[in-house]
Amino acid sequence: MHNLLGYSALLNLDSLCSHSIKIAFIELVNLDQQEDLKLIVDDQGANMYLKYQNQNSHQTLREAIEEYHEYLTHIGRQILTDSPEDTDPIWLYHDATHAIFGQDTTIEGEAALDFWVFFGTTFSWKLLKKYQQLPEIKDLSRALVSELGLTFIPKLYWRNKGVIWTVIRHTRRMTKKWPFELPSTLLDRRLDDLREEYGITVLTSEQKVPSRLTEFDYSIVSEIS
């Protein structure tokens, strides 16, 4: 949920589905650095399997977020954190959705996460608008539009409509919506228990396969910023 990669921000549209995708660019995978990771990656890097992506993982939510961070560190990506005085730790909220819904950090994975968040959580428009104002996200939005064009987001969603529709069906089967503004009491509960309570069924590896993996050179952001 990151404002459609800046597409909506640049067009002054208050669109929802962008927050998560922008993280995909910030955390873009460098496949050359994945050799000794304990995960499986196909020839496009589309399928990345971590423990938290297992439906019945016994990890706590906190441990799953830590695994997600360790993975980002291993591939040389920055872990975006909230300031101690921030009353709305949006990066924690975002990372928790990756963990609970079992999504990876490919652009297509982030696109799917957008729809998990939109249909399956109690997201806040206020937080999404706040996120739009972050300098690094504004820079990324400009870089994305410059590199991939204004029509990239609708094309991305269209060509991955099968995965997205599967996500929507899964959210319809949830027993209650996931709290986007994460209560700290959930951090030390096990993923399998939380998923059972909220009726969350993560996508299988087959269900996650995108029609095509998007390639993006993140270095262009520094050139445009």
pLDDT beyond 70 at 49: no
Burial zone of 212 (CB within 10 Å; 0-12 exposed, 13-18 middle, 19+ buried): exposed
d(CA 52, CA 120): 18
Which amino acid is residue 185, in one-letter code?
T
Residue 62 in tokens? 């906190």
For 53, phi then psi, to 5°, come to: -85, -5
190 or 10, higher pLDDT: 190
Q: What is the pLDDT of residue 218?
A: 41
User: What pLDDT was estimated at residue 64?
Assistant: 97
Close Cβ partners of 127 (under 8 Å, ≥ 6 residues apart): 88, 90, 93, 180, 181
- Tell me, rounded to whole angstroms, the distance of Cα 138 from its chain centroid: 18
For the chain, percent of residues with pLDDT exceeding 90: 37
d(CA 64, CA 178): 16
Q: Cβ distance 101 to 120 under 8 Å?
A: yes
Contact 171, 114 (CB under 8 A): no
d(CA 55, CA 191): 8
For 54-82, what is the mean pLDDT? 88
The 10s digit of each residue's pLDDT in 5-40 is 333 333 333 333 444 544 444 444 333 333 333 444
Segment 89-140, tens digit of pLDDT: 888 998 999 999 999 877 788 889 999 999 999 988 888 888 777 676 777 6
CA distance 102 to 97: 8
Domain span at 181: 4-224
Phi, psi of 29 (to 5 degrees): -75, 130
More confident residue, 197 or 13: 197
Look up residue 217 and give its two tokens.
């050179």
Number of domains in the chain: 1
